[in-house]
Structure 1
């Protein structure tokens, strides 16, 4: 069978298997084993265990459970609520300070936890009731938190970026740096829309929510600043050449656990067990998907599917930006139905040769891909963040949450367009800190 025809058959079978309800990792293994048996014979399965475990034989993978523990230890405390309260106290005199406080808290908590659902839950529990109490429209209150939570997979340290780096053999340090300015760009666009939407409501009371004394402003800082110093320390150690991402993640996880125990009295062994148990469950899930995706990539390469697609793209007489547009549509649709890690691990082996052949920077593309995954987090039918917000505020209809998040989807699309027009937004910082990519 022609490799290009075979690639279409693989794609169709993969979609059908994943939609059947099996887990992503098991689904990838089923598809891989099936096609290897049919086209390479049963003996080809002898290599599957070696590939499966060999994919996990990577020192960089240690960063994933460490960053997850780091985020879980923060999410299990009142750090999100304290962060929100600190920003509210300091930004109270800024026009629209409350909505800015929520988005700023989402950005900072996302950087600390690296988890979109955790960010929505931690900031939303405090922010949504407070905004509604002060008269903010339900759509703005719910949509801003849902969108702010998506920043967890873009602003470093990001588990999604680590997965992309491992899947494409790209520098994780470069990927982290590439997400900084696009993340700040999204925060700025989210804030701009929120302020415009608030001002358009015509209620001037929303633009000023009260005053706090200097004592009240400073007394909250000791509960927040240690976590922020840890994030800055982790990034400094990583980019200062002091330690590898895995080593800095391990130190960051230990420090976050210690601070959670000291500041938030997380001494109860049961509470610590919950943190470690949840972190282990999420880490195993991601690592299992990575291992299964390694087998899936081997199958694609063994059947000459990836090579044929790259060759076919190279012979097409089409503008590369039309090609990028088609890739974005594909990623957007995939993100509607699958979690970001699954999309990255499934799509990277196929898309990377295409991206390189078309002359695009893989580091820049990682940011484009991640923003597409962010859109999927606040879009139906999966839209994980929408359901998290609905769980926090069940009296806000899911339709209202969705409509409130749509303007933020437009902000993300605008960010993608700006990155296409000005790729330096993503590539300038990595090139300046680590030198131009070879």
Structure 2
């Protein structure tokens, strides 16, 4: 059978299996085993266990559970509430300081925890009622928190970037640095829209929240600064050549647990067990998807589907930006139904030779792909962040939350366009810190 036609059959089968509600990892294994058995015989199945476990034989994968423990230990405390309160106290005199502080708290907490749903829950529980009480539109209050929570997969340290780096054999350090400036740019676009929307609604008079003394401003800092110092320390150790990403992640996880115990008095063995249990569960889920995606990639390569697609793309006489637009549409649709990790693991190995052949930088593409995946987190039908916000503010309808999120989706599209016009926004910092890639 023609490999391109076979590839189309694989795509249809994969979509049908995943839409059945089965877990992503199991679905990928079923599809892989079925096509290998049908088109390559029983002999190819003998390699599946070796590929499955061999995909996990990577030292860099150790950083994933460590960063997840970092996030879980932070999410299990009042760190989110303290971070929100600290920014509110310091930005209260700034016009629109409340919405700015909410978005800033989302960005920082998402970067520390790496979890969009946890960020929405932690910051939204305090931020949404406070913004509504002060007259902010429901759409701005809910949409800003839902969008702010997505920043965690872009601003380092990011588990999504680690997965992309492992699946494409790209430097994780460069990927982390590449997300810094685009992440700040995207946060700035979110803030600009929120302030404009509030001003347009005629609520400019409520933009200032209140007055706090200098003593009250400094009082909250000891609870917040240690976590931020850990993040800065992790990044410094990584880029200063002191340790590898896996080693810095392990130290960061230990320090976050110690701070959670010392500052937030997380003494209870039951609470500590919950942190470790949830971290283990999420880590196993991600690692299982990585292993299954490795088998899926092997199947595509063994049946010459990957090579045929790359060759077919190479023969197309289309502008490379049209090609990039088509890739982004594909990723956007996939992100509507699948989590970012699954999309990256399935698509990145196929797309990497295509984008490099077309002359695109894989580091730059990682940032564009990540922002594209952020759109899926606040877009139906999956749109996990939308449902988290609806859960913590049930009196705000899902329609209002979705309507309030749409402008932030537009901000993400604008960010992708800006990155296409100025790719140096993603590549400049990695080149300056780590030298130009060869």
Q: Deviations over 1:203-227 (max 9, x none)?
A: 2322212110000000000000000
Report the 3-state secondary structure (helix = DSSP H, G, I; strand = E; otherwise coil) of the residue aligned with 1:261: helix
Residues 306 and 353 in structure 1, CA contact (< 8 A), matched pair in contact too: no
Asked if 1:163 is matched to 2:163, the reply is yes
**1:86 corresponds to 2:86:** yes
SS in 2 for 1:253: helix
Partner of 1:394: 394
Q: Distance in 2 between matches of 1:13 and 1:364?
A: 31
Structural mapping, 1:289-438, within 5 Å: 289-438=289-438
Q: Which residue of structure 1 lines up, in the alignment, with residue 22 of structure 2?
A: 22
Further displaced range: 68-77 or 304-313:
304-313
Task: Give the unaligned 5+ runs of structure 1.
Answer: none
Q: State the shift of 1:312 in Å.
A: 1.0
TM-score (norm: length of structure 1): 0.99
CA contact (8 A) 1:198 1:206 kept: no
Q: Calculate the TM-score normalised by the size of structure 2.
A: 0.99
SS at match of 2:46: helix
**1:353, distance to aligned residue in structure 2 (A):** 1.2
Equivalent residue number for residue 217 of structure 1: 217
Q: Distance in 2 between matches of 1:271 and 1:163?
A: 28
Aligned twin of 1:130:
130
Matched, 1:267 2:261: no
For 1:83-122, what aligned pairs fall within 5 Å after superposition?
83-122=83-122
CA distance in 2, matches of 1:320, 1:253: 42
Structure 1 CA distance for aligned equivalents of residues 218 and 349 of structure 2: 50
CA distance, structure 2, for counterparts of residue 2 and residue 319 of structure 1: 26
CA RMSD, 1 decimal: 0.6
- CA distance, structure 2, for counterparts of residue 296 and residue 203 of structure 1: 52
CA distance in 2, matches of 1:120, 1:207: 22
Post-superposition offset of 1:66: 0.2
Q: Are residues 1:199 and 2:181 paired?
A: no
Deviation at 1:44, TM superposition (A): 0.7
The answer for the alignment partner of 1:188 in structure 2 is 188
Q: Which residue of 2 aligns with 1:55?
A: 55
Instruction: Classify the secondary structure of the residue corresponding to 2:311.
Output: helix
1:39 matched to which residue of 2? 39
Unpaired stretches in structure 2, ≥5 consecutive residues: none
Matches of 2:353 and 2:36, distance apart in 1: 22
Q: Distance in 1 between matches of 2:233 and 2:46?
A: 45
| Aligned position for 2:245 | 245
Q: Partners in 2 of 1:8 and 1:361 — Cα distance?
A: 27
Q: Secondary structure of 1:243's partner?
A: coil
Deviation at 1:437, TM superposition (A): 1.1
User: How far 1:110 moved relative to its partner?
Assistant: 1.1
CA distance in 2, matches of 1:5, 1:401: 41
- Find the counterpart in structure 2 of residue 232 from structure 1: 232
Superposed CA deviations along residues 255-292 of structure 1, whole A, max 9, x for unmatched, are 00000000000000000000000000000000000000
Moved more, 352-361 or 240-249: 352-361
Give the match's secondary structure for 1:224. Answer: helix
Q: Is the 8 A contact 1:139 1:405 kept in 2?
A: yes
Give distance in 2, aligned partners of 1:278 and 1:425: 35
Number of equivalenced pairs: 438
Detail structure 1 runs of 4+ shifted over 4 Å in the superposition: none
Deviation for aligned residue 1:159:
0.3
| Secondary structure, aligned partner of 2:49 | helix
TM-fit CA distance, 1:348: 1.0
